[in-house]
Structure 1
Amino acid sequence: MNLRKEILVTGAAGFVGRETVKQLLAEGWKVRALVRTADTNPLAFHAGLSVQEVGDIAAVADWSSLVSGCDVVVHLAARAHKTGEGPNAARELFRRVNVDATVELAKAAAAARVKRLVFVSSAGVMGDFSARPFTEADPPQPASEYAISKWQAEQALREICRQSNMELVVLRPVLVYGPGNPGNLERLMRLVASGLPLPLASVDNRRSLLNVRHLATIIGRALELAEANGKTVLLADGNDLSTPELVRTFAKGMGIKARLFPIPPLLLLAAARLLGRSHDAERLLGSLQVDVTLKTNLFGALPREETLRGLIETGQAGR
């Protein structure tokens, strides 16, 4: 591939966006990176990179100039959960950013004859917890306003692409990890680094995780792979871990010993409800797995040692 092909990446300055832009530049794409503010842009200079400040994507009045001349669009920008924010907070904000702005971008891309749109959605579209690994054939059951907005955006994109010649690939990643990861994993890592004893030794759950570099590689492959057109794909490493295993692996990266002691998970859940933290506890104690058969067939597998190495590196960065 050479620099004559240009790609638009929204959310390019984010945790996943930075790794994706790095991957695409290495593959020879000419990248048009949209960032919220240029002042805090973390992207390193590259001859194939142009950075454009757009502010709040929900306030973009005209997407046409931003998508003009691009072969492919990767849409990463989204409003995610905020720390301490309830699952139903700011419903209208989620819709405005994650649905309405996505629709306007897609309409402009279709009008500009963009060949393919790769939309990074969320495995949360399937639900917050799984009794067995979710598959792409399972009916979506989004529980949070964030996941609902992603599901609504997916449906709107399918209709826009159905009415045009633009191809669509929908990627549904699980929790993404890597050095500098934000959100729930960052909070768990702070607990591990504190050295406080954690009552998680008796937890027997399974969690699917996704390495940020693996995700960036998958996005790169999804841009042109013919077999990916029209597909919705659940994404994970395929090397699921329990919460105690995750804690021990982070601790190994930090160079400390994980301090775990056993308390029955049902007692932990009861205590969390009394403290108003039941949702946080359910995330630590419950299972969320996805089946990676389709993902592996399309984009390849990630060896278990790569997952463990990535989690150790994440722990090292969080020391």
Structure 2
Amino acid sequence: MTRLVVVDGAGGFLGRHVVRALRDRGMRVRATDRPGVALPDADARVHVDLSCDPLEPLFAGATHVVHVAGLFDLAAREDALRRANVAVARRVADAAVIARVRRFVHVSSVTVYGRPRVAPVREDARRRPESAYERSKHAGEDAVGAIARASGLPLVIARPSGIYGPHGRYGLAAMASTIALAAASGRGHRSLRSETRMTHVHVEDVASACALLCDERATRDEDVLDRAFHVADATPVTWSDVARTIERFYGLEERAPVRVTPLRARAMQIAGRLASARLARTNASLARRWEALVGERGLEHALTPRIDVDAYDYWRADHVYDTSALRGLGWSPRWPDAREGLRATLEWYVRERWLPAP
């Protein structure tokens, strides 16, 4: 039977790369996203609002689904996160049941574990979500899992670590734009240093993992169905390493850096929540300064520097994830070290005029 894969969220950061990875494996792809969102090249492109539009036409004839659509924003309201990451996941899974797809790959996140207690984390570790975003990803997994148990939906769960790479607008992208703004303005830069470690993952490597998990010609059902797989690179790096990579790209010197211990990271998080109005003013100031730089340098309106207090969770413990299960299927990252991948990503941002040149 000819394979036809529905990829939702196909116009987003990860989705566009998943579409390409599937087509590279010889699969036909029907790409979809919200009305008005530009879609990548695919065998068919359909604009659908997954939250309210009828989904039967979208899934007609589909044999596989990669559910990428969701909301990744640590500062978003919990009701918005649950609509995007739980309610939509449930609607898509229900439609996939009706279409009788052969595999449903649900893209979740390692954030379902909350703050890890051990390193590396295995897929059978207890899930302890804390933030609103983490709870929404946990609930999304539970929603599709319940549907799979009740209906026999052939479910596979992918849990990527922190994703970065071309077209990324958040996470390390926000960090990079903040440091780039400091370098361009000449106002100096307050270097923060944390020795907690994390295994990140390049977006191309997440896409290749999703394509592999979707491909029943390359992976047997008994090896992947009803299982979750971590998707992360091979090299735990400290947050100091990440910051230095960006600072060196922009030629910023390290001047009396502020050492952030896990305890201090927690204090910074609490202080940011208590002083939310002050944080909002800081982020508004960053956005204004960035907009001025965009106009001055003729950059694309793609990135915005911002500070999210919940991001300090990543500085409170090591976030290192065991990928032996996925590697056992034959997957390996093209970008095994985030420092190398991040440098290449920064060069992409400069070429595409998302960031100013050093």
What range is the shorter-chain TM-score in? 0.7 to 0.9
Distance in structure 2 (CA, Å) of the matches to 1:296 and 1:258: 38
Residue 286 of structure 2 is matched in structure 1 by: none
Instruction: Pick one of 100, 122, 141 that aligns with 2:128.
Output: 141
- 1:262 aligned onto 2:262: no
Instruction: Pick one of 21, 45, 49 that aligns with 1:51.
Output: 45
Distance in structure 2 (CA, Å) of the matches to 1:21 and 1:133: 30
Gaps of 5+ in 2: 280-308, 350-354
Residue 174 of structure 2 is matched in structure 1 by: 187
Classify the secondary structure of the residue corresponding to 1:22. helix
Q: CA deviation at 1:206?
A: 0.2
CA deviation vs aligned residue, 1:36-87 (integer Å, no higher than 9, x gap): 12x440414xxx52111113x2122x221211101100000012216xx26x
Distance in structure 2 (CA, Å) of the matches to 1:246 and 1:127: 21
Classify the secondary structure of the residue corresponding to 1:59. coil
- 1:314 aligned onto 2:345: yes
Gaps of 5+ in 1: none
Distance in structure 1 (CA, Å) of the matches to 2:271 and 2:7: 43
State the superposition RMSD in angstroms: 2.5
- 1:204 aligned onto 2:198: no
Distance in structure 2 (CA, Å) of the matches to 1:146 and 1:103: 17
Whether the 8 Å CA contact 2:190–2:258 is kept in 1: the answer is no
List, as ranges, runs of 4+ consecutive aligned residues in structure 1 with deviation greater than 4 Å: 270-273, 303-306
Distance in structure 2 (CA, Å) of the matches to 1:130 and 1:137: 13
Q: CA deviation at 1:247?
A: 1.7
- 1:9 aligned onto 2:7: yes
Distance in structure 1 (CA, Å) of the matches to 2:313 and 2:89: 30
> 1:116-265 residue pairs with structure 2 within 5 A?
116-193=103-180, 194-195=182-183, 196-201=188-193, 203-223=194-214, 224=216, 225-226=219-220, 227-252=223-248, 254-257=249-252, 259=254, 261-265=256-260
Residue 98 of structure 2 is matched in structure 1 by: 111
Q: CA deviation at 1:313?
A: 1.3
Whether the 8 Å CA contact 1:268–1:281 is kept in 2: the answer is no
Residue 290 of structure 1 is matched in structure 2 by: 321
Q: CA deviation at 1:258?
A: 5.2
Distance in structure 2 (CA, Å) of the matches to 1:105 and 1:228: 20
Distance in structure 2 (CA, Å) of the matches to 1:221 and 1:152: 25
Instruction: Pick one of 333, 337, 340 that aligns with 1:302.
Output: 333
Q: CA deviation at 1:287?
A: 2.6
Residue 20 of structure 1 is matched in structure 2 by: 18
Distance in structure 1 (CA, Å) of the matches to 2:88 and 2:236: 34
Identical positions, percent? 25
Q: CA deviation at 1:292?
A: 1.7
Whether the 8 Å CA contact 2:10–2:39 is kept in 1: the answer is no
Residues 129 and 159 of structure 1, relative CA distance in 2, 3 Å threshold = closer
Residues 13 and 312 of structure 1, relative CA distance in 2, 3 Å threshold = same
Farther off after superposition, 204-213 or 294-303: 294-303
CA deviation vs aligned residue, 1:219-256 (integer Å, no higher than 9, x gap): 1100122121221112211211111111222345x352
Classify the secondary structure of the residue corresponding to 1:150. helix
CA deviation vs aligned residue, 1:183-236 (integer Å, no higher than 9, x gap): 2212210232223333334x2110110110011111110012212122111221
Distance in structure 2 (CA, Å) of the matches to 1:256 and 1:175: 25
Whether the 8 Å CA contact 1:7–1:72 is kept in 2: the answer is yes
Distance in structure 1 (CA, Å) of the matches to 2:14 and 2:245: 22
Number of residue pairs matched by the alignment: 304
Letter aligned with residue 23 of structure 1: A
Q: CA deviation at 1:312?
A: 0.8
Residues 258 and 70 of structure 1, relative CA distance in 2, 3 Å threshold = farther
User: TM-score, length-normalised on structure 1?
Assistant: 0.86
Q: CA deviation at 1:179?
A: 2.0
Distance in structure 1 (CA, Å) of the matches to 2:255 and 2:229: 35
Distance in structure 2 (CA, Å) of the matches to 1:244 and 1:21: 33
Distance in structure 2 (CA, Å) of the matches to 1:272 and 1:166: 40
Distance in structure 1 (CA, Å) of the matches to 2:108 and 2:3: 24
Letter aligned with residue 189 of structure 2: P
